[in-house]
Amino acid sequence: MKRKSDKPIKITEVCLRDGSHVVAHQYTEEQVRSVTRALDDAGMHYIEVSHGDGLGGSTLQYGRSLVNEMKLIEVAAEECKNSKLAVLVLPGIGTAAELKQAHGLGASLVRVATHVTEADVSAQHISIARELGMETLGFLMMAHMAPVEKLVEQAKLMESYGAQAVYVTDSAGALLPDQVRERISALRESLDIEVGFHAHNNLSVAVANTLAAIEEGATRIDGSVRCLGAGAGNTQTEVLLAVLDRMGLNVGIDIYKMMDLAENVVGPLLPRPQDINRGSLVLGYAGVYSSFLLFAERAGKRYNVDPRDILLELGKRKVVGGQEDMILDVAAELSKAQKLGV
């Protein structure tokens, strides 16, 4: 593989954060402990642990956690002998106090996430994280919703606040490889910091998109064991590692151990296979936030509306993360229209 960067690739495993959506945020202490222990043993670079919607996400709106996320972070920290512990925070959901608490429990890296056009709300959290001495990265979500020029503008803001890398985050799994190339290339040319990429597999191109990102110079890459993430999941970590190795890029993570972890530890946690079913496919097709799937399915059942119609309407309205309350509103409106024969 010809890469446009000579910096090493750093992998962040997100199955204990993004994967929290799949299990309705019901991870137990023992599950987090066993997955973290196996990831650490395999040599994973970073392990992200928090509510699926980041620190402070355990609410009625986003879904209550079974176990307080700070306890899960503490448990994971006890198992991290070589790997570094990471957390995600969305300003407006997670507070500075929660970020400081997570750091005190052992988190050494934070991704500060905002909608792709709202980087300005990340300034305080980035500044606080840098003051704490954490690796501090920006995370521009729903990156397909903004033109490349806007993406660059917002990434520059995060860089100016102190972010040490900025991610192109394909939250809806809506980007195609050429679109990924264009975005990663633009950020590489415009920033003096590292560029990252986070994919979802709703259109079955997560691995292809991730390879395109790496070729264009992205050095911070996300993966999820067994695709355990919102929607159809993320770039499947063990698959990505095998592909990279075949292409001559060994990132220092034991592939056999990752395969065993996927089969024996994470596999039993899956409530259902991470297939690309009609719901997750529509997420990518409509360009809708991947964590909306379960909410749309519940709303569809409640109002007797096809969840696909709900998701497509949400896409038309350009609804973004944080607007989960709109899902019920849209379902109710569609149900009313159906009854009226509109």
Residues placed in the known binding site for Mn(2+): 18, 198, 200
140 contacts 172 by C-beta, under 8 angstroms: no
Query: What whole-number distance in Å separates Cα of residue 209 and Cα of residue 304?
Result: 36
Query: What whole-number distance in Å separates Cα of residue 264 and Cα of residue 271?
Result: 15
* Radius of gyration over every alpha carbon of the chain, rounded to an integer in angstroms: 19
Q: How, if at all, do strands 109-115 and 135-141 pair?
A: parallel
State how far the alpha carbon of 302 is from the alpha carbons of 249, 331, 339, in Å: 48, 9, 15
Q: How many CA atoms lie within 13 A of 275 on its CB side?
A: 5
- Please give the DSSP secondary-structure letter assigned to residue 265: I
User: How long a stretch of residues is the chain?
Assistant: 342
Per annotation, catalytic residue among 21, 103, 125, 144: 21
Q: State the binding site for substrate.
A: 17-18, 171, 198, 289
Q: What is the largest CA-CA distance in the chain?
A: 61
118 backbone dihedrals φ, ψ, rounded to 5°: -125, 35
10 backbone dihedrals φ, ψ, rounded to 5°: -115, 125
Alpha helices in 21-114 (DSSP H): 29-42, 69-79, 96-105
21 catalytic per annotation? yes
Active site residues: 21
